[in-house]
């Protein structure tokens, strides 16, 4: 079984774009190759494309050969599309990792993106009703994320005393972290008072507690270690372990709204394969689609005990200089969230942190983690990266 490295990554501009989905895939592919000029389109023998809403919003299926053609790639070992809603990008990375490790491909690009904004804005939220069981939860409006995460936040507050101010602190931190991210959707700092006084979306979630709807794409290149050594002069970044779990889909089968068992299972899988513990993680990118999400992820990833996530942010433990800096490039709250690209954007940030050339650098970072959830908090994906294999 071969070792697998990350050797390049780049993304398009994220935000509200007039560009088409194929335009943004081309932007992301170009940025990825520019990150490492030693890699060319001729080196890529595998392509994995991730997109969740391409049929509905772009009226385009059979996406992988289309993207390959527009990037000038002729993949001979692997050419396919993956979809797991918000975890699409990280799922693509997991699949590329497995294929390279097994010797079925040597150099694989994983590229993902979404064109979510449509001429009629109401279609964006209407489309998201397909994110859950459309005949059951969707019919009740629970395919729209704010009501779901508002219910999660209320329960966490009731059980553990988490406060609206602690929720707001997550957004303040991540907006600050995104200031130096030129490709992010939002690049302005907000004060705690601004976050606290923002208009409510679904109480207790306010405007800045929610990530935005986003157009954008991102691309990353993985390679077998022997090829990677010849394709980059930068420090090698290895994928050390992965984990994925799903234990429900419908809300009726969601056994615990404030302890996400699927996340705990996926995290334990990844930790065991990487031979690390939560205390070994130097930097993390978690799925902060809503501020309460990041707080629960601190807990279920093992960074703190259950119920202490609010204090973890309040005491600065997830900020630069803290126990484990989280969402160092701004996360979903600042960068935005084009579903198919988010896990890839996270992987790019971890690659840069471990190479030592991130926009805001965590000094001495050697081990990094990414996490995505998807659907009705139904599936969780964890990937652990390292500068070393041991």
Mean pLDDT of the chain, nearest integer: 96
DSSP per residue, 201-266: EETTEEGGGBPPP-BEEEEEEEEEHHHHHHH-SSPPEEEEEEEEEE--SSGGG---SSS-HHHHHH
What's residue 138's pLDDT? 85
pLDDT score recorded for residue 178: 97
d(CA 26, CA 115): 13
Q: How is domain 131-211+241-385 classified at the CATH fold level? A: Peroxisomal Thiolase; Chain A, domain 1 (3.40.47)
pLDDT of residue 75: 97
Question: Per-residue pLDDT tens for 260-299?
Answer: 999 999 999 999 999 999 999 999 999 999 999 999 999 9
Tokens describing residue 370: 């990414």
Cβ 280 vs Cβ 270: under 8 Å: no
Return the H-helix or E-strand segment holding 7: strand 4-11
Quote the pLDDT of residue 354: 98
Q: What is the pTM of this model?
A: 0.97
Question: What does the pLDDT read at residue 121?
Answer: 75
Look at residue 309 in the predicted model and tell me its pLDDT: 98
Bridge partners (DSSP) of residue 8 are 221
At 306-328, the pLDDT tens digits run 999 999 999 999 999 999 999 99
For residues 89 and 50, give the distance between their C-alpha atoms in angstroms, rounded to a whole number: 6
> What residues have CB less than 8 Å from 33, skipping those under 6 apart?
8, 10, 39, 40, 41
pLDDT confidence bin for 115, thresholds 50/70/90? very high
Contacts of 363 (CB under 8 A, 6+ apart): none
pLDDT at 361: 97
333-358 residue pLDDT tens: 999 999 999 999 999 999 999 999 99
Tell me which of 5, 32, 57, 86 is the catalytic residue.
Answer: 86
pLDDT of residue 384: 98
pLDDT over threshold 90, residue 96: yes
* Selection from 216, 383, 195, 153 nearest residue 284 by Cα: 383
Could you tell me the CA-to-CA distances from 253 to 246, 248, 293 in Å, in that order? 11, 6, 19
Q: Respond yes or no: is residue 337 known to be catalytic.
A: yes
Model confidence at 120: pLDDT above 90 = no
Tokens of 388: 């070393």
pLDDT in tens, 58-71: 899 999 999 999 99
CB contact at 8 A, 117 and 369: no
Q: 4-120+214-237, what's its fold?
A: Peroxisomal Thiolase; Chain A, domain 1 (3.40.47)
pLDDT at 119: 74
4-120+214-237 and 131-211+241-385: same fold? yes
pLDDT per residue as tens digits for the range 172-221 = 999 999 998 999 999 999 999 999 999 999 999 999 999 999 999 999 99
The catalytic residue among 5, 287, 304, 337 is 337
Query: Which has the closest alpha carbon to 340: 185, 115, 148?
Result: 115
Distance CA 82, CA 68 (A): 14
Out of 4-18, 68-82, 119-133, 367-381, pick the least confident.
119-133
pLDDT at 142: 80
User: Which bin fits 272, alpha (ψ -120 to 50), beta or left (φ > 0)?
Assistant: alpha
How far, in Å, CA of 19 to CA of 11, rounded?
14
Residue extents of the structural domains in the chain? 4-120+214-237, 131-211+241-385
In this structure, are residues 221 and 7 in contact, taking their beta carbons and an 8 Å threshold? yes
| Three-state secondary structure call for residue 189 | coil
């Amino acid at each position: 079984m071969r070792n697998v490295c990350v050797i390049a990554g780049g993304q398009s501009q994220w935000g509200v774009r007039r560009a088409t989905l194929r335009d943004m895939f081309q932007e992301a592919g170009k940025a990825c190759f520019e990150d490492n000029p030693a890699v060319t389109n001729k080196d890529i023998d595998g392509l994995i494309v991730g997109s969740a809403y391409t049929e509905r919003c772009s009226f385009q299926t059979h996406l992988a050969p289309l993207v390959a053609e527009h990037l000038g790639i002729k993949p001979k070992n692997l050419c396919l599309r993956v979809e797991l809603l918000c975890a699409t990008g990280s799922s693509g990375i997991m699949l590329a990792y497995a294929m390279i490790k097994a010797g079925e491909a040597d150099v694989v690009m994983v590229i993902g993106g979404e064109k979510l904004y449509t001429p009629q804005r109401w279609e964006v939220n209407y489309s998201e009703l397909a994110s859950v069981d459309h005949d059951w939860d969707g019919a009740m409006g629970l395919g729209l994320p704010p009501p779901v995460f508002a219910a999660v936040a209320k329960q966490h507050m009731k059980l553990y005393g988490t406060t609206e101010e602690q929720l707001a602190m997550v957004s303040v931190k991540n907006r600050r972290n995104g200031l130096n991210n030129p490709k992010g959707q939002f690049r302005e700092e907000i004060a705690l008072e601004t976050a606290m006084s923002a208009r409510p979306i679904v109480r207790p979630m306010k405007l800045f507690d929610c990530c935005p709807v986003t157009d954008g794409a991102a691309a990353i290149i993985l390679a077998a270690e022997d090829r990677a050594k010849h394709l980059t002069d930068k420090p090698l970044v290895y994928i050390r372990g992965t984990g994925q779990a799903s234990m429900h889909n419908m809300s009726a089968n969601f056994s615990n709204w404030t302890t996400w068992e699927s996340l705990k299972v996926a995290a334990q899988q990844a930790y065991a394969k990487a031979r690390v513990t939560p205390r070994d993680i130097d930097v993390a990118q978690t799925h902060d689609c809503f501020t309460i999400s990041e707080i629960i992820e601190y807990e279920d990833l093992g960074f703190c005990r259950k119920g202490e996530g609010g204090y973890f942010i309040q005491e600065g433990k997830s900020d630069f200089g803290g126990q484990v800096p989280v969402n160092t490039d701004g996360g979903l709250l600042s960068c935005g969230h084009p579903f198919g690209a988010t896990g890839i954007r996270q992987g790019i940030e971890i690659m840069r942190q471990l190479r030592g050339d991130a926009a805001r650098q965590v000094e001495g970072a050697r081990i990094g983690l990414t996490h995505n959830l998807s659907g009705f908090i139904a599936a969780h994906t964890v990937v652990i990266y390292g500068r070393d294999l041991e």
